[in-house]
Structure 1
Amino acid sequence: MFNIKKLTILTLSSALLIGPVLTVQADEYDTKIQQQTEKISNLEGEQQAAQNTLIALETQISQIEAEIAETSAKKVKEEERLNEINLEIADLKVAIEKRNKQLEEQARNVQVNQTGNNILEAVLTADSLNEALGRAMAVTTIVNANNEIIETQKEDQEQLEKLSEEAQQRLATIEAQAKVLAEKEENLTATRLDQQVAINELQGMIATEKKQKEKFEKQKQEAIKRREAELKAIAEEKARAAAAQAAYEKEEAARAKAAAEAQVVVQEETSNNNTVTNSSDNAVVSDTPQQPATPTPPPASSGWGMPVSNVSVSSRFSWRTDPFGSGASELHNGIDMVGSSGTPIFASKAGTVVQASYDPSAGNHVIIDHGDGYYTYYMHLSSFAVSAGQSVGQGTTVGGMGTTGSSTGVHLHFAIATGIWSGFIDPGPLLGI
């Protein structure tokens, strides 16, 4: 009887102890999962705020670019006006030169012919008063004309100075406006790059927290499975204990009826107690929960190398406003990395050069087929170090950084695609930037 009671008590104790322990473990995972969910939610909120800030910056940059385009248009008009002024100045110089020659000629005539005495003689030798008056009026007209020429000469010289000053002022105004806009765009671009770095960092943090949450969720499911298995085992032990108790009670009743069979009952009881004891020992062993195996993270491998030694990103793979002032939205199908002219450019992976030529937009460019469905593009090069058909290894120099083609400054436009001039994808995740 002792062994059966021992089994019953042990089984009930296991049910009371293991059940709450497993429930607590599941609750702990629920708490951890909830904490991870809150972390992810907070990070996603920060990411959205950063994204909104980035959108606002993009809007400001678009406005500045529109102002730059407008200022460029004004500059063209002012340059056209400046050209007109220069033509007027040239015409005035010609007119002034002609008048100077005319005045010099008249002065020379007066000096050579002694015009003053001739005029007096012409008046005195006139046959009549009317003729004398006419000769005098003619002389006056000539003098007045000379005076008008001198006055016009003076006015034209003043106008020349005024137009020249006006042209200088217009030019200075345009240069000042262009400088202010360029500084604004530079500052906003730097801020945008910082914002994009912050967003990338948040994305990395969100990915890490999501992986941690997935880990907790997996551990929770494993704990639930263990709890269900343990509870099933406990239920089986309870059923076996109840059956043993019923058998014992039946044997006690039979003993009261037949004392003659007492020895047989004792033997059966001894046999049953041994069986119960073994079952109790097995139950104790089964109470120990199994710990889940620690998941092994997958190996990290990229296979893509940086095309430059020092990475300084000025523009990423994204939709943006045309930097040449058209105002249209276009897909920037690669990553721009700035540096100095001639900076060595390296092959990101091993492959075969399929193009090494010039294009009005891409400038000097190299395209490499890597044989795995991917092509890499290296644009705006200053020079070539490889040729079409050449096999290159990862890190082979393909050329020097430049600003050929449609380019606003020295930089490398690096792109990855699944075809020749088609199927462009974002190189950032592959490069890890």
Structure 2
Amino acid sequence: MKKCKRSIISGVLVLAMCMGTAVNVQATTIEEAQEIADQLDEEKEAAEAEKNALTDQLNQIIGEMNVAQERLTNKQAEIRQAEDDLVQAKVDENTQYQSMKKRIRYMYEVGNTQFIEVLLNSENMGDFLNNVEYVNQLSEYDRDRLADFQKIRSEVEARERALQEEYVVLRNLQDALIAKQAEVEQLLADKNLQIADLEGQIGENAALLEELIRQAEEEKRKQEEQAAAAAAAAAAAAAAEAEAAARANGGSAYIPSTDVVVSGNGQFTNPCPSGSVSSTFGYRTFDNSFHNGLDLAASSGAPTYAADSGTVLIAGWSDSAGNWVVVDHGNGFVTKYMHHSALAVTAGQSVSKGQQVGYVGSTGYSSGPHLHFQVELGGSPVNPQIYL
């Protein structure tokens, strides 16, 4: 009897504790549950509207990113064209400079006697003045042409700098858009969590409302039977004992070098003897593009060499070519060496055939360590393997 009484008391206490928890965190009446349901529906509707606004904002950002990416791609193409134009401008400037040096050297070696003889052999004063003017015009022509080419080169350099600055602005814009996208995506994820939580609360409140209605109907029935309290206590005790029984049943950079290596029998030496051909000159089917050079895959840090003697026009950084070197060999030949990890020459330096110019790397637009070797004749790319 005592055991049964203790079971009933403990069941009532358990029921009281559960009801106390419900009072603290949930509605205790049907009216309160209905008010909470209306409030949760309003909050969910507002959250859905915010979610739709965030989705529209995200779509707008993605559209702006697509536009920015297209502008970046176009700007990269403009920069590559400007780099090619700069190379050609330096080639023209260097060619004119070399030609002028040859004429000056000739005048120095033979002396000015031939020019004096030309002037003294003039038939009359008019002829004499014409010959003097011709000599002056020849010197002025060389100077003017060199000045013209220097001006063109300066203009191309300024254009390339301006394009690089525009590229940085566009890149910063894209980075800002990426950050904004991440922020909006996080807000959208948080909003989804909020909506999911509201839906959970709505479900819990609906279950509670249903339970409260059931309890009210049960209470009415118990009152009509005039044994509501005893029946509730007995039911609680029975539920507690059933729960206990269930548990009991098992509920549950720059590096100079003096190396010179000449290999092969072609017009040009192999610029990377330790490398192997990974992509040839010409059309490539895997990316539907035309490859302007010869890719020689090699380990990072492997030396690269000048294909022939010449003048280093460029030794520096390019967003696309990475650390690169451009050498003018004269007679219209220019070679380019791209994607170095470090360089061994500087711009304006004269290099001999087989002299080291850099170290293999994977800088710029590169998917692995290799040397992109490009040969141009008259400003147009040609197959490098013809000359190796």
Q: TM-score, normalising length from structure 2?
A: 0.49
